[in-house]
Amino acid sequence: MTAAKPTVLILCTGNSCRSHLAEGILRAAAGDILDVVSAGSKPAGYVHPLAIQAMQEIGIDISAHRSKPLSEFLQAKIETVITVCGHADEACPIFPGQVNRHHWPFDDPARATGTDEEKLAVFRRVRNEIRRVFTAYADGRRDALKTLSGKPRA
């Protein structure tokens, strides 16, 4: 019998952009060793179309994601909570309970202004920043598993 994968919850305020970018990237990088979910303290009710487009460009499909309230996960066994809100004026959610916590702030691409192409450029920049941080996190989690098991994992 295999143990359940630890759950990583990625939190933001609206759960429409950054948390979905991070969820998709972390799931692609470490979905074999982590269960990855996202939620918001004040969910927007949709996943931003430019977030979906920016992710499709790197081969990750988040079109089936949905904007979820934090309350859906209050009874879940969460091992790690990562908040991705960037601006100081945002009310980044706090998750109750004793869990690992990280706060990695990113700009909110939903606040981008200008033409569609200029907005998409902001989504791409934030996606790439999130990709660097969450890929490194996935690599660290994988390395920790190798150390614990004493042997390399595929």
Please check whether residue 134 lies inside any domain of the structure: yes
CB distance 20 to 43 below 8 Å: no
Please check whether residue 154 lies inside any domain of the structure: no
Please check whether residue 106 lies inside any domain of the structure: yes
Stated pTM of the model: 0.90
Quote the number of domains for the chain.
1
CATH number assigned to the domain comprising residue 127:
3.40.50.2300
Tokens of 37: 């979910």
Please check whether residue 32 lies inside any domain of the structure: yes
Active site (annotated) includes residue 17: no
d(CA 28, CA 85): 21
Please check whether residue 2 lies inside any domain of the structure: no
| Residues in Cβ contact with 44 at an 8 Å cutoff, skipping those fewer than 6 apart | 14, 15, 16, 67, 110
Of the residues 85, 112, 126, 130, which is catalytic?
85
The pLDDT tens digits of the residues spanning 47-85 come to: 999 999 999 999 999 999 999 998 899 888 899 999 998
Please check whether residue 56 lies inside any domain of the structure: yes
Tell me the CA distances in angstroms from 146 to 2, 3, 33, one per residue in order.
16, 16, 12
The helix (run of H) or strand (run of E) holding residue 131 is helix 116-149
| Structural domain containing residue 35 | 7-149
Of the residues 8, 12, 112, 126, which is catalytic?
12
Vertex 100 angle, CA 96 and 105, to 5°: 90
Q: Which amino acid is at 120?
A: L
Partners of 35 in beta bridges: 7
Please check whether residue 71 lies inside any domain of the structure: yes
The pLDDT tens digits of the residues spanning 81-121 come to: 999 987 655 666 667 676 799 999 999 999 999 999 999 99
Please check whether residue 1 lies inside any domain of the structure: no
Mean pLDDT confidence for 15-27: 97
Of the residues 44, 58, 92, 121, which is catalytic?
92
